[in-house]
């Protein structure tokens, strides 16, 4: 299964230095773009949501760019039969404006 995800997060920054540490809480809405699965009936796969807690750091590499690194734990809203969660490691490149 593949999903397109739209998320909203509230982030708290702990310091303003070369490494900026932060924590965030958020909610995600997931819409399936691929419903191919072996354990579920295709008709049972639909839009779902999850909530997240994220720990991260933004590392400044110049006056214009930074590298964000985060670990995100997503827990899907429980169904009657399945408990689903996932952990994500995200690394990127950002630009200050």
- Summarize pLDDT for 38-76 with one digit per residue, the tens: 666 666 677 888 999 999 999 999 999 999 999 999 998
Count Cα atoms within 13 angstroms, Cβ side, for 61.
9
Neighbouring CB atoms inside 10 A of 50's CB total 20
Task: Tell me which residue range forms the domain holding 32.
Answer: 2-95
- Residue 58: what pLDDT? 95
- Count structural domains, the chain: 1
- Residue 8: what pLDDT? 95
Q: What proportion of the chain, given as a percentage, has pLDDT over 90?
A: 54
- Residue 39: what pLDDT? 62
Q: What is the pTM of this model?
A: 0.75
């Amino acid at each position: 299964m593949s999903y397109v995800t739209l998320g909203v997060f509230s982030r708290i920054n702990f310091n303003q230095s070369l490494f900026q540490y932060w924590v965030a809480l958020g909610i995600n809405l997931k819409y399936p773009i691929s419903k191919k699965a072996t354990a579920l009936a295709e008709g049972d796969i639909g839009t779902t949501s999850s909530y997240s807690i994220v720990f991260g750091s933004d590392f400044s590499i110049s006056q214009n760019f930074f590298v964000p690194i985060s670990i995100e734990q997503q827990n899907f809203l429980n169904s009657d039969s399945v408990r689903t969660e996932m952990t994500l490691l995200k690394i990127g490149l950002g630009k200050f404006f």
